[in-house]
């Protein structure tokens, strides 16, 4: 019998809303860190402003998710 071209449900068992939320939070933290590092290296106030905006927006994006 040939292998199925569709992935099994077990292969995607980790794709729960909670795990995806944590992945999103981790990516946001890395993004904020990189933007802050870019500000530190370049001294650009625009980059600092963008990093602070990301910092403020992250908790707001997490609010609708049930814990």
Q: What is the pLDDT of residues 18-47, one digit of tens each?
A: 888 888 888 888 988 998 999 999 999 998
Q: Which residue segment(s) compose the domain that 46 sits in?
A: 29-60
Domain count, the chain: 1
Residue 7 maps to a domain: no
Residue 33 maps to a domain: yes
Residue 42 maps to a domain: yes
**Residue percentage of the chain with pLDDT more than 70:** 70
> Taking the mean position of all CA atoms in its chain, how far away is CA 30?
8
Give the chain's mean pLDDT. Answer: 79
Let me know: does 51 contact 36? Beta carbons within 8 Å: yes
Let me know: does 54 contact 35? Beta carbons within 8 Å: yes
The pTM of the full predicted model, rounded to 2 decimals, is 0.66
Residue 24 maps to a domain: no
Residue 36 maps to a domain: yes
Residue 66 maps to a domain: no
Residue 10 maps to a domain: no
Residue 38 maps to a domain: yes
pLDDT band at residue 62, thresholds of 50, 70 and 90? low
């Amino acid at each position: 019998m040939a292998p199925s071209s569709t992935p099994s449900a077990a292969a995607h068992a980790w794709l729960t809303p909670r795990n995806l939320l944590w992945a999103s939070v981790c990516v946001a933290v890395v993004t904020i860190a990189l933007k802050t590092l870019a500000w530190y290296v370049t001294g650009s106030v625009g980059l600092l402003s963008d990093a602070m905006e990301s910092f403020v927006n992250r908790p707001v994006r997490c609010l609708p998710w049930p814990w």
